[in-house]
DNA sequence: CCAGACGTTGTT
DNA sequence: GTCTGG
DNA sequence: CCAGACGTTGTT
DNA sequence: GTCTGG
């Protein structure tokens, strides 16, 4: 009873800071093949200081006004449509946009009783940025819990074979605008969050080992035979 | 005014 | 915090 | 998203 | 069936 983009990967970590214009290299980022909600992810923000930085945030938004993080239903996705009107997202959309680095994501197809996972990624294997929003919750002891959501949009022709939503992948030339401080016009937001071109992506069946959030490793993105399609 | 929600997708 | 429903 | 739990008090 | 944890 949760969302669409529910698992993703960061497989290419060499050159990641350079790819996103982050100057600080102190954060050691390990490849991840099965990032699930509730886990920490290095996302990219641009504070007022102007320099892009990595900040570790937990996937699943806890709004700043929540009284108790465990009492609030954490959203892991936010629909692009009507984003500006949702109480949880209205504020972050104006002031707290982030880039979520990713190489690909998983979608599941029900085949009878079992869910069969597919991996969707760029044909050229370059890193993408999902459009994200974040918020900061102040803990009773004065610390900060930083959390984020991945925005979803209509699927392109490729992803629509698997699902009726897909993550909003920013075109590389739009990443700068998404990280710019302050509100963006509604029309700009709509344009930036439009479905990513299908011809740049590829999808294939992977092992059901990825179903278990505890699974890790490069085996998870290995292509396996798709039993639902002819050979 | 106060109380209560504040979210998404998929499946039926 | 802010909006909606009662 | 999927997997796994789904319960309590008192005693060690 | 439905919620929580990863």
The complex's ipTM works out to 0.86
C-alpha dist (Å) from residue A60 to A19, A82, A170 = 25, 19, 20
DSSP A124: T
- Separation of alpha carbons A206 and A181, rounded Å: 39
Q: Please give the angle made by the CA atoms of A79, A30 and A19, to the nearest 5 degrees.
A: 65
Burial class (CB in 10 A: 0-12, 13-18, 19+), A207: middle
Per-residue pLDDT band at A1 (split at 50, 70, 90): very low
- Separation of alpha carbons A119 and A187, rounded Å: 31
Segment among A127-141, A195-209, A214-228 with least mean pLDDT = A214-228
- Separation of alpha carbons A74 and A38, rounded Å: 9
| Contact in structure between A214 and A11 (CB atoms under 8 Å) | no
- Separation of alpha carbons A21 and A126, rounded Å: 15
Our answer to whether residue A5 is catalytic in this structure is: yes
Residue A59, CA: closest nucleotide via C1'?
E6
Q: Which of A41, A35, A7, A197 is nearest to A119 (CA)?
A: A7
What phi and psi values does residue A155 have, to the nearest 5 degrees? -75, 150
Q: In the prediction, which pLDDT does A52 show?
A: 96
Among candidate residues A98, A107, A128, A175, the one labeled active-site is: A107
Residue A60, CA: closest nucleotide via C1'?
B7
Mean pLDDT of A112-122: 93
Strand C CB shell (< 7 Å): A 63-65, 87
Q: What is the CATH number of domain A8-221?
A: 3.90.1680.10
| Contact in structure between A165 and A185 (CB atoms under 8 Å) | no
Per-residue pLDDT band at A194 (split at 50, 70, 90): very high
Q: In the prediction, which pLDDT does A227 show?
A: 61
Q: In the prediction, which pLDDT does A231 show?
A: 37
Token digits of residue A188: 């700009």
Q: Please give the angle made by the CA atoms of A17, A168 and A96, to the nearest 5 degrees.
A: 65
Chain center to CA of A94: 18
Strand D contacted by A101 CB (< 7 A): no
- Separation of alpha carbons A69 and A88, rounded Å: 13
Our answer to whether residue A98 is catalytic in this structure is: no
Residue A6, CA: closest nucleotide via C1'?
D1
Q: Is the pTM of this model over 0.90?
A: yes
Q: Where are the domains of chain A?
A: 8-221
Percent over 70 (pLDDT), chain A = 96
Q: Indicate whether A228 pLDDT > 80.
A: no
Whole-number Å distance, CA A70 to C1' E4? Answer: 10
Q: Indicate whether A2 pLDDT > 80.
A: no
């Amino acid at each position: 009873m949760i969302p669409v983009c529910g698992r993703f990967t960061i497989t290419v970590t060499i050159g990641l800071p350079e790819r996103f214009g982050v100057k600080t290299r102190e954060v050691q980022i390990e490849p991840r093949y099965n990032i699930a909600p509730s886990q920490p992810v290095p996302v990219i923000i641009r504070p007022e200081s102007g320099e892009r930085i990595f900040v570790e945030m937990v996937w699943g938004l806890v709004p700043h006004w929540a009284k108790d993080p465990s009492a609030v239903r954490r959203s892991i996705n936010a629909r692009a449509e009507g984003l500006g009107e949702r109480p949880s997202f209205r504020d972050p959309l104006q002031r707290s946009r982030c880039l979520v680095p990713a190489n690909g994501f998983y979608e599941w197809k029900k085949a009878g009783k079992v869910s069969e996972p597919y991996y969707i990624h760029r044909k050229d294997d370059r890193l993408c940025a999902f459009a994200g929003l974040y918020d900061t919750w102040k803990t009773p002891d004065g610390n900060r819990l930083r959390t984020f959501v991945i925005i979803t949009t209509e699927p392109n022709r490729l992803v629509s074979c698997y699902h009726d939503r897909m993550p909003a992948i920013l075109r590389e030339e739009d990443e700068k605008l998404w990280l710019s401080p302050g509100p963006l016009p509604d029309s700009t937001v709509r344009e930036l969050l439009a479905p990513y071109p299908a011809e740049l992506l590829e999808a294939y069946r992977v092992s059901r080992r990825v179903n278990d959030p505890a699974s890790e490793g490069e085996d998870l993105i290995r292509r396996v035979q798709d039993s639902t399609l002819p050979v």
